[in-house]
Amino acid sequence: DGGITQSPKYLFRKEGQNVTLSCEQNLNHDAMYWYRQDPGQGLRLIYYSQIVNDFQKGDIAEGYSVSREKKESFPLTVTSAQKNPTAFYLCASSPTRNTGELFFGEGSRLTVL
Amino acid sequence: AQSVTQLDSQVPVFEEAPVELRCNYSSSVSVYLFWYVQYPNQGLQLLLKYLSGSTLVKGINGFEAEFNKSQTSFHLRKPSVHISDTAEYFCAVTYNTNAGKSTFGDGTTLTVKP
């Protein structure tokens, strides 16, 4: 089945450690996105990529990094510079670059102890 | 700044009652509009979308929404809800000047009671 796979679903880390969240899609979509979700808030855009080997910062990029070496893959690294990394992270892809219609993965919940 | 406001953070209703979840956005320029549903600890799933054409849009699970350009609104409705509709609902807007990036509302928690 076509879709977006995020892993791991749950992740616990100590303060000061970098962690990488995986996102893979087999929908043949050009655009991919990372969002952060906190309780009672909407989704906030961290990074997005509209084509391989290119990506742009979203609204809350500080403390995060990404790469887009393959069309199918868009991993997110949460670095030690991110002041409040505990959150639910959602990866999404889009079949077009214009409308913003999104297909989401199941999410990864990161807890920093 | 472009923004999306979901007017109710929580909506409790009884089973088989009608429901309306309200969404307003900040600009009347050309937009694309979406409603997504999220069940606990899961990703978001597209309920319906307005890209162009008829202002009344029908989606999955019996939901529909109406695009009102003059009021910059995109309210979600269902004539009769089920227990299984209990979830969080997000309104999202893509402004055509924003390179495909959606702006999300803060979400509305719909709780359907027996």
Task: Give the per-residue pLDDT at B28.
Answer: 64
Grade residue B41 by pLDDT with cuts at 50, 70 and 90: confident
Beta carbons within 8 Å of B16's beta carbon, 6+ residues apart? B80, B81, B82
Which residues is B19 bridged to in the sheet? B78
Average pLDDT of the residues in A73-84: 93
How would DSSP label each residue in B19-61?
EEE-EEES--SSEEEEEEEE-TTS-EEEEEEE-SS-SEEE-GG
> Given CB atoms, is A90 within the 8 Å cutoff of chain B?
yes
Task: Give the per-residue pLDDT at A31.
Answer: 92
Across A71-75, A98-102, B90-94, least confident range? A98-102
Q: Test B94 with A99 for CB contact under 8 angstroms.
A: yes
Average pLDDT of the residues in A91-113: 89
Task: Give the per-residue pLDDT at B95.
Answer: 81
Average pLDDT of the residues in A68-85: 94
Task: Give the per-residue pLDDT at A39.
Answer: 84
Task: Give the per-residue pLDDT at A1.
Answer: 66
> Given CB atoms, is B50 within the 8 Å cutoff of chain A?
no
How would DSSP label each residue in chain A?
---EEEE-SEEEE-TT--EEEEEEE-S--SEEEEEEE-TTS-EEEEEEEEETTEEEE-TT-TTEEE--SBTTB--EEE-TT-S---EEEEEEEESSSSS---EE---EEEEE-
Of the candidates A102, A112, A106, the residue with the CA atom closest to the CA atom of residue A81: A112
Task: Give the per-residue pLDDT at A18.
Answer: 93
A106 CB neighbours in chain B (<8 A) are 42-43
Grade residue B27 by pLDDT with cuts at 50, 70 and 90: confident
Task: Give the per-residue pLDDT at A16.
Answer: 87
Task: Give the per-residue pLDDT at B12.
Answer: 97
A20, two tokens = 């990488």
Nearest to B46 among A45, A101, A105 (CB): A101
Q: Note the pLDDT tens digit of each residue in B46-88.
A: 999 999 889 999 999 999 999 999 999 999 999 999 999 999 9
In whole angstroms, give the CA distance from residue B76 to residue B89. 9
State the residue for tokens 């409040």.
A84
Cβ(B101)–Cβ(A100) below 8 Å = yes
Search chain A and give the residue with CA nearest B31.
Answer: A99
3-state secondary structure of B84: helix
Task: Give the per-residue pLDDT at B78.
Answer: 98
